[in-house]
Amino acid sequence: MAFCNNCGTKIQEGKKFCASCGQPVTAEAAPGQQQQNQSQINNLVRNTADETASIDPEDIAKNKAMGGLAYFLFFLPLLVCPESKYGRFHSNQGLIYLFLCIGGGIVNGLLVMLLTWRLWWLSSILSLVIGIPILVIGIIGLINGFSGKVKELPVIGKFRVFR
């Protein structure tokens, strides 16, 4: 299946020009779509909202440890430094991450139950497919919290439970 290098539209087999933009079809049209998909994934992970400038640097410096620990116990910054915007931000991110972990565990458990013992290998692979991205998101949160960044987690960070 080929895609236009110029606009990314799917090109029907045997066509010599893109129906959308009129560009000639080249033999390497498919890698153009692959590159476009890769850039969309990079944007999803790297280009999350960064609100570091909106928080007092003194607040960040004072509560870096609480920001990182929020991904283990989301309520800890709310108890130790309830007035900190930095702590509250990472508490929210930690809570959303907890929801993701619980949801991933439920989905994983359902898949294991549905796939009988005869397909144990498939449930193991699906567990990794679910678990590794969740782990990566958690590590990104820990790095952001302990390094003083007020940056949303990829994919799930835009949700807010409390402000």
Beta bridge partners of residue 2, listed in sequence order: 11
Pair 88, 142 in one domain: yes
Pair 37, 107 in one domain: no
Element (H, E) at 76: helix 76-80
Count up the domains in the chain and report the number.
Answer: 2
pLDDT at 122: 86
pTM for this model (two decimals): 0.71
Among the listed residues 84, 79, 93, the one whose alpha carbon sits nearest the alpha carbon of residue 160: 93
Query: Average pLDDT by consecutive 10-residue portion of the chain (163 residues)?
Result: 74 80 67 62 69 91 94 94 94 96 93 80 88 95 94 90 80
Burial of 91 (0-12, 13-18, 19+ CB in 10 A): buried
Pair 68, 12 in one domain: no
Which residues make Cβ contacts (< 8 Å) with residue 66, sequence separation at least 6?
76, 77, 80, 81, 84, 86, 87, 90
pLDDT at 32: 54
Residues making up the chain, counted from first to last? 163
pLDDT at 107: 92
Domain that holds residue 21: 2-46
